Amino acid sequence: MDAATLEALAAFPDRLEAHYAAVPDGYQLWTPPSWATCPSEHFPALEQLCHIRDIEIDGYHVRLVRTLKEDTPYLAGVDGDRLRIERAYAEAHAPNVLRAIRTAREETLEVLGTVSQAQWARPAVFEDYGTTTLRGLVHYLCSHDLQHLAGLQWLCGQIASHPA
């Protein structure tokens, strides 16, 4: 796996915390007048954190392990809208969610640290993405991280453009 992607994955919890801290106080659950052009899921800042946590744990942890252990597993997507409601994202405590993300990412990196050169090519079928490999899954995880950093900055732009 390339160093740039692994470094981005390792740095993500710190970057996420910094981007979340850029959201002005009192705007953690704020929603814009329109979500048009938003580069991430249409969740307010706090709910984006919860989504990231759940995608890491319920999505990528499961996908990575199954791809390593099973022959060409079918990897279902995660229904973020359903989890948002079931897990009451709006009631979450951001410091707890950020800690959970940090712990989950450490676990992801531990798993990836055990992968042999040959295992990076292990195939899987990822819902909505099609046939991929373990390496492909890691790139998709990194892409998801970057989408949410962009989404938080997009929300900050919207907040600055629509002052209360």
| Domain regions of the chain by residue span | 3-161
Banded pLDDT at 147 (limits 50, 70, 90) = very high
CATH superfamily placement of domain 3-161: dinb family like domain (1.20.120.450)
The SS3 call for residue 125 is strand
- 116 has a pLDDT exceeding 90: yes
- 164 has a pLDDT exceeding 80: no
pLDDT at 159: 97
For 47-53, what is the mean pLDDT? 98
Residue 63 token pair:
């996908």
Cα–Cα distances (Å) from 77 to 88, 101, 105, 126, in that order, read: 20, 19, 19, 7
Residue 164 token pair:
């209360």
pLDDT at 163: 76
- Residue of 1, 17, 21, 23 lying closest to 157 (CA atoms): 23
| Sequence-ordered list of residues with C-beta below 8 angstroms from that of 113, at least 6 positions apart, any chain | none
For 102-124, what is the mean pLDDT? 98
